[in-house]
Every structure is written in C-alpha cells, then in structure tokens.
Amino acid sequence: METSERVGRYVRMVAVEGQGPELAAALLRVADGMAAQPGCLTYVVNAAPDEPDTVWVTEVWSDAEASDAALNRDIGEAGLGAVLELLAAPPDYIEVTPLGGPGLP
C-alpha cells in the first residue's frame, strides 16, 4: 500500500459542560462499529486529561474512499446521533497523511 494513499485525522470534540464522560462513552460505541468498516486502520478515542469535556478521536484509513464510505453512513447506523446531541460546538478536524510507525501496516 502506498503510504500517500492513507488518510488520517485528529478530531477534537467538546461536550456540553459536564458531559465529557458521556461523549467519550458514545464515541467508544462508534469506535466499536468502525472496527468492522473496510479500510479502518485506527479509530482511537482519547480523553484530554486537562480538559474533562474534550475528547479527541485519532483516525487512520487505508484511503479516502474507505474514509468517505464509513463517514457517509447513516448517522443513526454509525451511532453519531448520540454524539451530536452531546456536542457544545461543531468538531474541529486536523487532516494528516499517516506515513508509518508501530500499529500501521
């Protein structure tokens, strides 16, 4: 696989005040579903230790098509409806091109 085909992103989500743990739990349920999505290499939910209402998701996809297919699924099917209800603002995205390292094929 060409490393330049991979698609990665860091997604920062801020929950409504006091709802950080619920947001993390909802995103972990989304992560369970992403494990079965073709081309999903990494979908990790991260807590921000100094920001209890902020959750980061680290995503790596085999290519843009796999990412698009997974993220364009029905919101309810993906479990994103529960996530959207908990957000204080739209998510922030940082797009990256994963080059390699432990954990990547």
pLDDT band at 69 (very low <50, low <70, confident <90, very high): confident
Residue 7, pLDDT > 90, answer yes
104, 77 in Cβ contact below 8 A? no
Condensed to tens digits (0 to 9), the pLDDT of residues 13-42 reads: 999 999 999 999 999 999 998 888 899 999
Residue 73, pLDDT > 80, answer no
Q: When comparing pLDDT for 47 and 74, which is higher?
A: 47
What's the CATH fold of domain 3-96? Answer: Alpha-Beta Plaits (3.30.70)
Residue 92, pLDDT > 90, answer yes
Average pLDDT over residues 73-99: 85
- Sequence-ordered list of residues with C-beta below 8 angstroms from that of 50, at least 6 positions apart, any chain: none
CB burial of 72-93 (b: ≥16 within 10 Å; e: otherwise) equals eeeeeebbbebbeebbeeeeee
